[in-house]
Amino acid sequence: MENVGALALLLAFCISLYAIISSVVGRLKGKPFLTLSGERAVLAVWALVSTAAGILVYGLMTSDYRMAYVASHTNREMPGFYKFAAWWGGQEGSLLFWSWLLSTYAAVAVLTSRKAHRNLLPWVVSILSVIQVFFLILNAFIASPFQVLAVDKVVTSVADGMGLNPLLQYWAMVIHPPFLYLGYVGFAVPFAFAMASLIEKAPGESWIHTTRRWSIVTWLFQGMGIGLGSAWAYHVLGWGGYWMWDPVENASLLPWLGATAFLHSVMMQEKKGMMKVWNMVLISSTFFLCIFGTFLTRSGIVSSVHAFAESPIGKYFVAFLALGIAATVWLILDRLNYLRSESDLESVVSRESSFLFNNLILLASCFAVLWGTLFPVITEKLSNEKISLDAVWFNRLMVPIGLALLFLTGVGPLFAWRRTSIDSLRKNFQWPGIGTLVTAGLLFAFGMRYPYSIISLSLCFFVTATIVLEFFRGANAISEKTKTGFIPAVIELTHRNTRRYGGYLVHMGMVLMFIGWSGHPFNQTSVGEVAKGATMKVGSYDLKVLDLTEGDTANYQWETAKLEVSKNGSFIEIVEPTRRFYKAAQQATAIVALRSRLNEDLYINYAARSGDKATLQAYVFPLVEWIWIGILVVIGGTLVCLIPSKVARAYTRTEVVGVAKANAPVEV
């Protein structure tokens, strides 16, 4: 079976090369049969890569320990869904997963665009196939998942495997990597369409209209992957956090920031014919940041709990990035005249300028994270001394940037297109501004002394007020006109322009996440060794150790501390934080006890045991639950954006676009 899998990857590599040649030659020579052949080659590649993936998954599920990858990442006692997750749990399997997703995306792109974009599609096929060839080179020749165990050139087997990394044996980690990969790989499609439009000098913004849903869905997948990764870190690693500015965490954040900037600025090109060069740079940067993130995870140049061991494939990624970036820069520079803007920025006080500043801040945050991630690598290369930048450095830089971005999120809806009058500014800013100042004053009066938290929570009120006013004004107008209730009017308003009002819901989700982050300065921590029957205090909670127990399963050994939780002297509940020691991997993991409420989380990690004493790490984290609620609202808002609007909209480049009067709903 492993020979069939390896042969399928080799054939997929050859057919991908054919897809490039046939598509390019067919387009340049005007040979439709060749371009059609290239499209069919993409479908054949998907079938072959799917065959290889199916063989690997079959080997994982049936414990075929002749295969080195299966022996390294599964063992007989692992539950079936973790065996399946081992597909992307190791270096070779995850690269095959990358190739399979890319072949799937490419096949879907061909099937959905073959009629509408005949001129662009050959170039799209060739660009996607170039990316496919690169990953198939890794799959077939550099890091094959189908290598077998052999002694003196005789295929052998082992009695049992090493098992999946215990840190990955958690439900969120079963779905966290696939969502991230769906984001990483998915940005290849809008990138391919953008480059194809440059090559063809295609008129208008057809590539944007074609890839709008691709971009939004891919951005959503990337965001969900990041959110699931945060939940995993919070619940499994036992250190009490959800983000530690780890290099691989940063690698997933970078393309998400670039894509967020792209999704905002692309509206400027659609409505005003502006920022064409900027959008090409953004979508290209986002794609190459996805490749860069994949490189960081697999090259071994950074140390991370998420990263794979050091391997020789890093140099191949560097070569691909260098050649790809050079070709993209040359193409953009060669097409600058074609990318000339159709209109200019007329006023700094306008919605256009708010989009521009939003982009600049997002790109500044992206550069800051990128620099902080690469700085230790650069210093080690130059001075043989690694100087790490810890979470304090990132927070010192990113907190002000995040607050500026939050402010612009609230300001944007208050500005009109083209220019905003003084009267409109005074009218629109009056009540949200007063409410923001009152909120800040109340927070200070009730004893809050952390400036960033005061600013953040006050801005959260400001943004919430602007969003609520947007919905209220539009829904109230519809309610009065149609004589319907307010809630049906809100639904009707949202359905008329799902992208706009779905976007407001996404912004509201971000507000809720900022509320969660604002509680960080008020965290409380208590760490200590507590004897059986004794009590440890953290914040207003008392934790009494009732019992210490241990046990054994086929897959792992476990130890549990049974704790009685009281608050202000009143009993609340019994919790049982646990530690597991996985036999195959010889590695321990934590299962924390977590009591979540809207105001705070009680978080307890059972770190170790010494006789009848337990080492406990207890934390009180205010407002953390709002982060997870915010993520869910962002997902819901993004899904609303994907629903087709009830009222079709056409934008005229020479007229005022959007709102004739500030904040008035538009009906076209």
501-521 residue pLDDT tens: 999 999 999 999 999 999 999
pLDDT value at residue 90: 87
Give CA separation, 177 vs 47, 146, 185, 213, 385, in Å. 23, 21, 12, 22, 32
In the predicted structure, residue 384 carries a pLDDT above the cut 80: no
Q: Which residue has the higher pLDDT, 650 or 407?
A: 407
Contact 148, 62 (CB under 8 A): no
Q: What is the pLDDT of residue 89?
A: 86
Element (H, E) at 530: strand 524-531
Give the pLDDT confidence of 321-337 residue by residue, as tens digits: 999 999 999 999 999 88
Is residue 31 over pLDDT 80?
yes
CB 87 within 8 A of CB 97: yes
Alpha-carbon distance of 510 to 503, in angstroms, equals 11
CA neighbours within 13 Å on the CB side: how many for 544? 12
pLDDT at 400 over 50: yes
Given a cut of 60, whether residue 63 has pLDDT beyond it is yes
What's residue 379's pLDDT?
85
Q: How far apart are CA 461 and CA 456, in angstroms?
A: 9
The pLDDT of residue 305 is 54
- pLDDT of the residue at 267: 83
3-state class (DSSP) for residue 531: strand
Question: What is the H or E stretch that residue 478 is in?
Answer: helix 451-482
Q: Is the pLDDT of residue 665 over 50?
A: no
Least confident window among 408-412, 468-472, 532-536: 408-412
Cβ–Cβ under 8 Å, residues 103 and 46: yes
pLDDT at residue 106 in the model: 96
Question: CB–CB of 191/127 below 8 Å?
Answer: yes
Percent of the chain with pLDDT over 70: 93
Question: pLDDT of 262-313, one tens digit each?
Answer: 998 888 887 777 788 899 999 999 999 999 988 888 776 766 555 555 567 8
Report pLDDT digits (tens) over 572-606. 999 999 999 888 778 888 889 999 999 999 999 99
Q: What is the pLDDT of residue 302?
A: 66
Residue pLDDT, tens place only, 350-372: 777 888 888 899 999 999 999 99
Overall average pLDDT of the 548-567 stretch:
92
**Its pTM surpasses 0.75:** yes
List beta partners, residue 543.
536, 565
List, in order of start, the domains of the chain with CATH numbers: 1-169 (no CATH), 395-516+634-642 (no CATH), 521-622 (2.60.98)
| φ, ψ at 285 (rounded to 5°) | -60, -40
Give Rg (Cα) of the chain: 27
The whole-number pLDDT of residue 648 equals: 59
Look at 102-106, 384-388, 566-570 and tell me which has the smallest mean pLDDT: 384-388
Show Cβ contacts of residue 235 under 8 Å, excluding neighbours closer than 6 positions. 170, 172, 592, 594
| 383 compared with 197, residue with greater pLDDT | 197
Model confidence at 651, pLDDT cuts 50, 70, 90, reads very low
Mean pLDDT, rounded, of the chain? 88
- Please tell me the distance from the alpha carbon of residue 313 to that of residue 329, in angstroms, as a whole number: 25
- Residue 310 pLDDT: 56
Position with higher pLDDT, 519 vs 166: 519
- Candidate ranges 304-313, 394-403, 419-428; pick with highest mean pLDDT: 394-403
Q: What is the pLDDT of residue 417?
A: 66
Spatial CA neighbour of 264 closest among 210, 208, 319: 208
Mean pLDDT (whole number) for 556-569: 93
Look up tokens 């049974």; give the residue. 562
Per the CB < 8 A criterion, the answer to whether 390 and 372 are in contact is no
- pLDDT (0 to 100) of residue 656: 36
For the chain, report the end-to-end CA distance as a whole number of angstroms: 60
121-152 pLDDT, tens digit each: 999 999 999 999 999 999 999 999 999 987 66
pLDDT band at residue 216, thresholds of 50, 70 and 90? very high
Task: Supply the pLDDT for residue 586.
Answer: 82
pLDDT band (50, 70, 90) for residue 659 = very low
pLDDT at 230 over 70: yes
Q: Which of 234, 231, 82, 64 is nearest to 163 (CA)?
A: 82
What is the structure's pLDDT at 309? 52
The band of 19, judged by pLDDT with boundaries at 50, 70 and 90, is very high
- Average of per-residue pLDDT across 473-502: 91
DSSP symbol at 67: B
Cβ-contact 640, 498 below 8 angstroms? yes
Residue owning tokens 């602007």 = 466
Residue type, 199: I
Beta bridge partners of 574: 564
Q: Which of 9-23, 24-38, 122-136, 265-279 has the lowest mean pLDDT?
A: 265-279
- DSSP for 570-630 reads EEEEEE--EEEEETTTTEEEEE-EEEE-SSEEEEEEEEEEETTEEEEEEEEEETTHHHHHH
Which residues does residue 606 pair with via DSSP β-bridges, in sequence order?
616
CA angle 509, 512, 515 (to 5 degrees): 155
Q: What is the pLDDT of residue 652?
A: 45
Q: What integer pLDDT is reported at residue 41 of this predicted model? A: 97
**For the residues 488-511, what does the mean pLDDT come to?**
93
